[in-house]
Amino acid sequence: KKRIVSGVQPTGSIHLGNYLGAIKNWISLQNIYETLFFIVDLHAITLQYDVQKLSKATRDTAAIYLACGVDISKASVFVQSHVRAHVELMWLLSSATPIGWLNKMIQFKEKSRKEGDENVGVALLTYPVLMASDILLYQSDLVPVGEDQIQHLELTRDLAKRVNHLYGGRKWKKLGGRGGQIFKVPEPLIPPAGARVMSLTDGRSKMSKSAPSDDSRINLLDPKDLIAKKIKTCTTDSFLGLEFDNPERPECNNLLSVYQLVSGKTKEEVAIECRDMNWGTFKPLLTDAVIAHLHPIQVQYGEIVSDPSYLDKVLADGAANAEVIAEATLSNVYQAMGFLRR
């Protein structure tokens, strides 16, 4: 079976974008592939964060994975920092990463320009090396990536090839290793179209945890009334009828796409159903569909968080499974890089 890894950061509340763009897709992937889904807490400290909230947010994110249908009989669910090899491999990879590669990363350039050099930690620059470590540690075949992560995955691929070239093959064999490739070079798995959920208050920017206004997103655990209120007051337009794919109507395209994804209908069905609607008729329809889709997830979530020892066991088992794969890779890297092994 091919192997897939993916994760979400435990920062803020998980929203419909994280769910429709990532977690919901995992549910079908776990039936086809060997899957490892982690909560990427080490990434969550890259920018300023709330120390008091990190640990709870990590557990809550794990509970959301399970509530959304991640099945622990098929997938390993664990916390990134519980498998120490992530950070260890990152250091080894750092030595093989040219600074120029990191300086070119768009996300780094944008965020560091916004915050200023004195205000951002080195981790913002080296974050893609940790991401590479998350992926290469598990010899992943495929990585689901959104548009914003494509450049980071490209760096992961380049880094895998570079390390294979610098330390793999015959050189590794001479050191007593197996020879050949140290890392598998992962391929991107582009999620289905329409999976980029936009903000409720601005159809041109993505729904995001860090956007200051909570009205811009629907959180997975929002109560019904709040969901209804957010949809009622969300930004729309004054065109006649509703349609997909009109570049002048990003909000319309977004809300129809959300409706399509939560109702399970096809794009064609939604296009026909909503063609002659106005916002007054569509918004209650969307509200009901979102609430109906999220209700069972919220009920499941409530049950899972009411049993902390169950969650601890799931995370401990998941980390133990992950560690077996991670340690094997890490040990090979140490050997290939010439370290004296204990």
Catalytic residues: 111, 206, 209
Residue 169 or 250 with smaller CB distance to ligand AQP: 250
Quick check: 194 binds ligand AQP (CB under 6 A)? no
Quick check: 207 binds ligand AQP (CB under 6 A)? yes
Residue 251's alpha-carbon distances to 53, 73, 245, 271, in angstroms, are: 32, 39, 10, 15
Quick check: 189 binds ligand AQP (CB under 6 A)? no
Residue 170's alpha-carbon distances to 93, 97, 130, in angstroms, are: 20, 22, 27
Stretch that binds ligand AQP, among 77-85, 88-96, 202-210, 290-298 (CB under 6 A): 202-210
Among residues 151, 260, 245, which one has the least CA distance to residue 195?
260
Q: Cβ contacts of residue 221 below 8 Å, gap of 6+?
A: 13, 14, 64, 298, 301
Stretch that binds ligand AQP, among 201-209, 224-232, 250-258, 269-277 (CB under 6 A): 201-209
Quick check: 8 binds ligand AQP (CB under 6 A)? yes
Assign 297 to helix, strand or coil. helix
From the CB of 341, what's the least distance to ligand AQP, in Å? Answer: 34
Give the Cβ contact number of residue 172 at 10 Å.
Answer: 22
Assign 204 to helix, strand or coil. coil
Site for ligand AQP in 121-180 (CB under 6 A): 146
Residue 200 or 304 with smaller CB distance to ligand AQP: 200
From the CB of 66, what's the least distance to ligand AQP, in Å? Answer: 16
Name the residue whose CB lies closest to ligand AQP. 21
- The residues that bridge with 38 in the sheet, in sequence order, are 7, 78
- The residues that bridge with 78 in the sheet, in sequence order, are 38
Binding site for ligand AQP (CB under 6 A): 8-9, 17-18, 21-22, 146, 195-197, 206-210
